[in-house]
Every structure is written in structure tokens, then in C-alpha cells.
Structure 1
């Protein structure tokens, strides 16, 4: 049973929206690419978990605080016996370990992901203790990318390599003596953790931006190219030739504007200009009138959710 689904990270939504409209620094672009790869890996693992037939409780993407320390959890799997913290990494290429330090094949040192795993486990255990939830937590670092290789790793490390994932999942459910039901106690603990989930994270790193300097236009949802006016109520991507109906293109444009400028009033002129004039003011007005509540009069008209 999936108690909390995964949502696209808010930081990633910002970067996806900004990347075609402004120039990122090399560091900002690297952060963006890493976020995309990380999220892609999480979705791949989600698909594997969704195929499991045995009964279990699953929470995805939790952001919690304990003793004034924030921590994030990719997956929490509840079975009758214990809780599994499953952290997913989408690393690729060759890596090796030397005295607990992690390196790429080129010799570049990277953060030891096991330290993050252990920190999250410790904070989760402290939080469960406060909740009087006496359950054992086992943590594993799962590498989902088939192009990942890790050398010099001790077999005692809680690391699951790509070739081991399917066997690990089968063994996990079998060894834990998972029944065809989950006790109410486990579900109660899981629901308590969900209530403690924080929707805002202080770790977001969003480039500074302002409306005037951002490039205006309709961005293709397929290749992030630029859409141009087509015929018969559609717009067409100038790069990949994908076509889209006006209404769905306006909807995406409105959601982008609301994400980047949540305190700015929603008006016909703003969405018309934000869309780069690809869609007529009349069509934008019709969309906003149909989907939103109209307020004000004359030039002061703006729209908000019903």
C-alpha cells in the first residue's frame, strides 16, 4: 500500500522552468542535471517497487526534522518486522573506495553517500523513539543505474549494486516473513511520519531571477525548445515539431508563471506576454475566464482560483 506518493521536487520544478529562459552558470547547470538524474533514478526504483506483490506499506519522499536537524528519506518501507530506509542513487561510471573516501575513476573525491545514509538513520531512530515507536530500522544504499560500477567495496557495506537489486528485493520480502496484511500499529507509525512531513525545504538553491530578464515564450514540454504559432488551435515546436493544443499550452504557461511569481496578480496581459505572444489575448482571456474567478474592473481585472 502506497501511503505517500513521490512528487517532483520543488527545486527541480523551478530549475526546469528557468533553464530555457535564462543562462545558468556552470555550477547551476551541474546542480540541475544532478537533480534530474537523481529524480529519474527514484522513478526507476519506484517502478520496481510497484511490481512487488507482497503486502507492505511504503512512504516516498519524506522531509522531516528531529532535534533541530532536517533530513530527507527517499523511501520508507514498512513490514510487520521492521522499517527499511532505502536511499536511491543514480550514479554512473566507475567509482572506488579508499579508507571510507569515495572517488570517481578520474580520482575526483565525492561525498560519501553512506554518511548521509547513516545520518538519516540516526535521526529517524531518534524521531521514532520520541514517538514511542519501537521498530528496528535497516538502511540500504541502492544504485539504480546499470552503468554504475563500484570497486573496493566491502561486502559488509549496506550497498546494493544494480545487478543485485532484484535479488535484494526478493530476499528482503522473504526474509522479513511478510504476511498478507500489515498490522495497524505499523500503519499508525507511518501516518504519524506523514503528518510530520515538511513541504518546504531550506536546501533549495534557486538562481536569482526577475520577470524582465527572463526570456518569454512557450516552452515545448517534450524537448524544451520554443513553440511557434501553428494552425487549427495548435502551437508547434520549432525544434522537435511536436504539436500541442492552445489550451494545454496556456495551462502550462499559467502554472509556470504562478510558480515563479506567486505574489503577482494573474492577468490576461501578463500571461499573453509571458507566452511570447504566441497565443492571442482573446484566447488567453477565454481560458482564464473559464478556469479562474475574475476580480476587479477594467484594466484592474485579475484572476484567481475559484
Structure 2
């Protein structure tokens, strides 16, 4: 059951509007392209998840705050026994995993998505405790683009690639007992805490004189 549909992020919508009304800088165009690519990847993930037949509660695109820290969760799947947190990455190209970090073949370090997802798990866990819930949270980083290759990656159950998703979700659907949606109240509390007014600090500065 989808409780919260996915929509474009605030950054995506603002950059889209500004791109239609002013000339973005090179860096801003890259930022906008990344927003588009990320959203496309998340929609690909949604399609596979929705086709899986999993009996659970789905929450997409959740922006929360815990102890003055804002964080965005791409997707939550909430069952009676556990919460599954998915961090979706639409990376393309070749990467190397070393020293507990991700590097492009040109040597540039990329923020470790596994560490990023684990931080979000910790934030969410603390929020749940604050709300009076104690429930396991299982984290997965999904590399949704089939053109993403990561070398020297030791076996990590946390990481899922595009080709694994259908089988992974089928196994999950087959092993889940019939759900009573006993965590529906919890899911609704999380959605009520979604902060739709948050504005990132890295958006372009503009004046009304610049707008076409």
C-alpha cells in the first residue's frame, strides 16, 4: 500500500523553474541534471517495487528532522516486523570501492552511499525511539542504473544492483507473512513529520530582474 507517492524534490522543482526563466551557470546546470537523473532512478526503483506484490506500507521521498539534522529518505517499506530503508543511487560509469569509500576511475572520491544510508538509519532509529517505537531497520543501497560498475567490492548484503532487485523483492514477498499493517499509525506519524517547507542552502541565488 503506497501511503506517500514520490514527487520531485524542492531542489528539483526550483532548479526546473529557474532553468525556464533564467540562464543557469555551468555548475547549476550540473546540479539540475543530477536532480533529473536521481529522480529518474527513483522512479525506476518505484516501478520494480510496485510490481513486486510485497504486502507492506510504502513511503517515498520523506524529508525528516531529528535533533536539528535534516535528512531525506528515498523509500521506506514498513512491515509488521521491520522497516526497510532504501537509498537509491542512479550512478553510471565505473567505480572502485577501497578504503571504505567509493572512487571514480579518475580518482575522485564520492561520498560513501553505504555510510550515508547508515547515518540515516541511525537518525530514523532515534526518531522512532522518540515516538515510542522499537523496531528493526534494515538498510540497503540500490545502484539502480545497469550501467554502473563497482570493482573491488567485497560482499556487502547492504548493496543491491539493478539486476538483483526483481529477485530480491520476490524473495522478500515470498517470505513475508500475511501483514496486519499494525505499524500503520507509525507510518502516518512519519508522513506527518515530512517537512515540505525545507529549502536547501545550495540553491542558486537570483533576483526577480533576472527572471524571464
Superposition RMSD in Å: 1.5
SS in 1 for 2:21: coil
Paired residue for 2:173?
Answer: 173
- Structure 1 position 22, deviation (Å): 2.3
CA distance in 2, matches of 1:178, 1:95: 38
TM-score norm. by structure 1 comes to: 0.66
Higher relative contact order (CA 8 A, sep 6+): 2
CA distance in 1, matches of 2:107, 2:26: 21
Is 1:193 matched up with 2:190? yes
CA distance in 2, matches of 1:46, 1:4: 12
Bigger radius of gyration = 1
Contact 2:141/2:159 (CA < 8 Å) preserved in 1? yes
Paired residue for 1:81?
Answer: 81
Structure 2 residue runs of 5 or longer lacking an equivalent are none
Paired residue for 1:232?
Answer: none
101-110 vs 32-41, greater mean Cα deviation: 101-110
Contact 2:97/2:103 (CA < 8 Å) preserved in 1? yes
Is 1:9 matched up with 2:9? yes
- Structure 1 position 201, deviation (Å): 2.0
Deviations 1:96-147 (A, max 9, x none): 1111121112222111111210110001111111112121100000011111
Paired residue for 2:122?
Answer: 122
Paired residue for 2:112?
Answer: 112
CA distance in 2, matches of 1:48, 1:114: 21
Contact 1:146/1:162 (CA < 8 Å) preserved in 2? yes
For this pair of structures, how many residues does the alignment match? 212
- Structure 1 position 9, deviation (Å): 1.2
Is 1:207 matched up with 2:204? yes
SS in 2 for 1:19: helix
Contact 2:117/2:141 (CA < 8 Å) preserved in 1? yes
Paired residue for 2:180?
Answer: 182
Paired residue for 2:32?
Answer: 32
Contact 2:57/2:181 (CA < 8 Å) preserved in 1? no
Is 1:135 matched up with 2:135? yes
- Structure 1 position 193, deviation (Å): 0.7
